[in-house]
Structure 1
Amino acid sequence: MISVIGAGAFGTALANSFAATSPVWLWGRNAQSMAQMQAERHCPRLPGVTLDPALSCSGDITALPAEGPVLLAVPMQTLREVTTRFAGALAKRTLVLCCKGIELSTGLRPSEVLAQTLPGATVALLTGPSFAADIARGLPTALTLACADRAEAEALQAQLIAPHLRLYRTSDVTGAELGGALKNVMAIACGAAIGAGLGDSARAALMTRGYAEMSRMAAALGARPETLAGLSGFGDLALTCTSEGSRNYRLGLAIGRGEVFDPAVTVEGAATARATDALARSRGWDLPITAVVTGLVDARLDVKTAMAQLLARPLKEETP
């Protein structure tokens, strides 16, 4: 059986998709809401989607099935708290991370957080260009499944099957994590440019030079260049920087338009920008777009000043 921890839109969409071919157990922190989902077969965060009969919804972590992989579909900034809280239930299990980001308090990636909270677990990562609404509606989606253990990756690839999902394997967990995390920062930048009326050409420039920043940081941390060129990097960047389905892009739009963004909406790119900028400064990395995005989300810069800073950088030869 497949288990999913985290009943937000993305976790529920994945759980419902996998339930088409396998029994799935889904946990959410609000027991009353989970009981309602179980009885009514609908998720408030996925309007119009009927939950598959093979999907069981629960608010009781002690009911976690003893066998099968566990997908962790919780926000990056709560990953440590959730895995520490449920360490007894999750110890030595096969865990598939479904969050994208960098921990603000430590600068660690998701797999590095699990290495501290659940050192005996087998860790994989599911990432790539995907919106919960598309997955829930059964629209074709391709994702990256990253795991250092090839045999485990092949086993997970065979288990995590849905009619409209296609999973590609990689052993480069670091590269897949960084692609999924850093593209959110670039999406904020692109949203801000469009929101401020700077045009599609400015967005294209930010996407391209943002990809160069992602690649430089990934290489510095030992990732393979081809991973960033795949679904978890370039693919996710293209989707997130061009669609209002992305919360990161919508935050950027609001910043560019001078509007207030709903603080209740989780935007992983804001924390990731801060964490990445701090890491870059400590290691002497040149990540100018990340730096100005951090200034934008912290309200230290406006879009006009941020763009002026980028345009005033020293002239140089283009390098990826």
Structure 2
Amino acid sequence: MTSERLTLKIADRFEEPGNILRLRLTRADGAPLRPFDAGAHLDLRLKDGAIDLWRQYSLCSDPAETGFYEIGVLLDPKTRGGSAAVHRLARPDVAFEVEGPRNHFPLAEEADRTVLFGGGIGITPMLAMARRLHALGRDFVLHYCTRSEGVTAFRDMIAAAPWADRVVFHFDDQPAAQRLDLARDLPKPAAGTHLYVCGPQGFMDWVISAAEAAGHAPANVHREYFSADVDTSGAGFEVEARRSGITVTVGPEDTIAKALARAGVKVEVKCEEGVCGTCVTDVLEGKPDHRDKFLTDDEREEGTMICACCSRSCGAKLVLDV
């Protein structure tokens, strides 16, 4: 589905537990919005003084809803400005420039069984998936993991949902039997069983590695990272932008996107952490040193694409189709 650029206003702002805002966005003229596919997100532009950022937020509302979009935004203690700007600026009737919906985390609607794992704010795309799976009459369960019951967002929304009995809550401060136990809670591998994982990087890496060790096919283990600890440093190398006819040097603390931008070659960048896919660029020659969390293992093996915001080169030179 092709995304579009919109101006949407904040219709409602709900304070959820755990420093999470649930924001309802609508068109100013009240016109209907496009339905979206479960797993989709919005790109939100945040402009406030010296801040001018694009950040991605998963849609948690019903994919069939056309009156509004809803997103959840955690006030991240490690914020680089984005989440703090949302919490400060997102007031009723304030307008934001938005792109989307776009979807890098699609739901396999034909699956025989779907198991959703949401950690903290990673619950947001899972809510849209649960709504869609319920509408389709599919077999699913949602495991929702948080630090404690008191910081668990969306509990009232879930309690009122017709699929509330499909949700299993896990709180880190409760006895072991109540916490997520992957030996118990992972389903047995099967061709028709699909797993979806979203949340903090450590939580995701734990669930994904356990699932693959248990025999789940990598293609059936779907993931979306909201952020990632990424090391963009390394030995310097050259990048040739073939279509632009320019060659630049990417220094040890530099990135491909920044080096190209200084030379007048624009590669659009949004997340700067290799999670959103906005900066994916075709590789014509050379071997990428992948640092992102966006490309699949198969795409990395092919070596024909690179996330220019964070990844580097294994050799002395890369040639990119820009």
Structure number with higher helix proportion: 1
TM-score above 0.5, yes or no? no
Q: Which structure has the larger Rg over C-alpha atoms? A: 2
